[in-house]
Amino acid sequence: MRIGVIGAGVMGRGIAQVSAMAGHEVVLFDINSEVLTAAELAVQKNLNKAIELGKLDIAGKEVTIANLTYSNAISDVKVDMVIEAIVERLDVKTKVLADLADINGPDTIYASNTSSIPLTQIAAAFVYPQRVVGIHYFNPAHIMKLVEVISAEQTDPDVVEQAKAYVASVNKTCIVAKDAPGFIVNRVARHFYVEGLKVLEEDVASHDVIDDLVRASGFKMGPFQLMDLIGVETNLSVTESMYELFNYDQKFRPNRIQQKKVQAGYYGRKSGKGFYTYNK
């Protein structure tokens, strides 16, 4: 299958990598050439790390690299399946998908990696609503095993089956969810972040102590480490979206501490500073 991944940020490049490793021919598109260059370096680093851990051999790395091309020309995205992993804004997603529909037509599958925007809303604004489906990876995409497949109200059942088959092909565990705010994982996980921020806001404990306690309970990362990894601004955007979608239920209320981090440009690992400081 020829796959076009839209957006070469952390999520997009991870999706492109696992797709190429599985033998799919992949075009990773981004309008920003610098982001594409950073993505290529990150994929190389991930593949080298996989070799060090014995999870990949040299031949597998070469095949992956051969399957993956990088482009800032959207006309190159002539594919069987699109997976968009761009900013969580409906207007931006709608515009990009419309451009891709002009290039690809009604036979392509148009998948979104959205974390919080209703798939039914994305499909409603699209010329081929029955071809829209959610394929929601989790960060880091090249490591996390779970992928949610989400059916919009308009999605053709055959498109859901093809999305499930794609997820199986990249050796991920697939769960099918109906279109609801946050789907399954983000709805449940939102309170992992929100409650951690409340504990910090109430000065019960510092962010590093909260993370230590959570890790001691069996989690690989605490909420603040995970926010820094995902991107503090991305995490906040999802929280704001879910807060609105749940009619401003206070249990989803965005936290001022997180908002100040974003206002300061402290996005986490990607910016060198978030709740922690990193060497870029």
- From 113, 186, 235, 237, active-site residue: 186
pLDDT of residue 180: 85
| Residue 115 is a catalytic residue | yes
pLDDT of residue 65: 95
Total residue count of the chain as it appears in this document: 280
161 in a structural domain: yes
Number of structural domains (the chain) is: 2
The confidence band for 13, taking pLDDT boundaries of 50, 70 and 90, is: very high
Same domain, residue pair 124 and 7: yes
Task: Dump pLDDT digits (tens) for 154-204.
Answer: 999 999 999 999 999 999 999 999 898 888 888 888 999 999 999 999 999
Alpha carbon distance 258, 120 (integer Å): 29
pLDDT of residue 184: 87
Same domain, residue pair 160 and 197: no
The domain spanning residue 155 has which CATH number?
A: 3.40.50.720
| Residue 139 is a catalytic residue | no
The confidence band for 233, taking pLDDT boundaries of 50, 70 and 90, is: very high
- From 19, 46, 104, 115, active-site residue: 115
Same domain, residue pair 25 and 146: yes
Task: Dump pLDDT digits (tens) for 41-98.
Answer: 999 999 999 999 999 999 999 999 999 999 999 999 999 999 999 988 899 999 999 9
Q: Is the pLDDT of residue 280 over 80?
A: no
Same domain, residue pair 90 and 126: yes
**End residue of a domain, out of 156, 178, 200:** 178
Task: Dump pLDDT digits (tens) for 88-144.
Answer: 889 999 999 999 999 999 999 999 999 888 899 999 999 999 999 999 998 888 888
274 in a structural domain: no
pLDDT of residue 201: 95
Same domain, residue pair 172 and 190: no
Same domain, residue pair 123 and 233: no
* Residue 272: other Cβ atoms inside 10 A: 14
> Which structural domain, as residue segments, surrounds residue 241?
186-263
| Residue 113 is a catalytic residue | no
275 in a structural domain: no
pLDDT of residue 279: 85
280 in a structural domain: no
Phi and psi at residue 273, in whole multiples of 5°? -155, 135
- From 24, 40, 84, 148, active-site residue: 148
pTM: 0.85
Q: Give which of 28, 32, 31 is closest to 20, Cα–Cα.
A: 28
Same domain, residue pair 172 and 203: no
Long-range pairs of 156-160 with CB within 8 A, sequence gap ≥ 24: 156/130, 156/131, 159/109, 159/130, 159/131, 159/132, 159/133, 160/133
| Residue 235 is a catalytic residue | no
Same domain, residue pair 110 and 199: no
pLDDT of residue 230: 84
199 in a structural domain: yes
Same domain, residue pair 174 and 193: no
- In the block, residue with structure tokens 């990696």: 113
- From 136, 207, 241, 255, active-site residue: 136
